[in-house]
Amino acid sequence: MPKESFLRNRIKSVGFALKGMFLLLRTEPSIKIQFFIALIVTAFGFYFEISSTEWIVQVLAIGIVMGIEGVNTAIEKICDYIQPNLDPKIGFIKDISAGAVMIVSVLASIVGLIIYVPKIF
């Protein structure tokens, strides 16, 4: 059986990644909320005409929060698959994963405040 080309493998990988992104957006309530917030702060960025540096920081903050939320969702799904019943060790893992989302969400909120509070007031 001939080995697939590097390019064909990369195209397939992008396809799987896009499928995963759309699955997240379609099925996970928390990422839907984060996506909605991302749209709002993006609109604020255009309205307040934030600088290129502020755009970079804002886009990175949004991407990190949504990316970590995706990892958190994957960890939770794996945990549920491995142990569908209540288990303190699985609960500990899921709490840590959710805590990671909380950390980046709080920091992203601080970034948003740093960018927008001076523009609003």
Catalytic center residues? 69
Provide the residue type at 121 as one letter.
Answer: F
Can you tell me the distance from the alpha carbon of 88 to that of 49, in angstroms, rounded to the nearest whole number?
48
Q: Does 69 show up as a binding residue in the annotation?
A: yes
119 annotated ligand binder: no
Indicate the SS3 state at residue 46. Answer: helix
Confirm whether residue 76 is marked as ligand binding: yes
- According to the annotation, is 87 in a ligand binding site? no
Among candidate residues 103, 87, 101, 109, the one with its CA nearest the CA of residue 28: 101
**b/e map 74-90, b = 16+ CB within 10 Å:** ebbeebeeeeeeeeeeb
- Binding site, annotated residues: 28, 69, 76, 94-95
| Binding-site residues from annotation for ATP | 28, 76, 94-95
Binding residues for substrate: 69
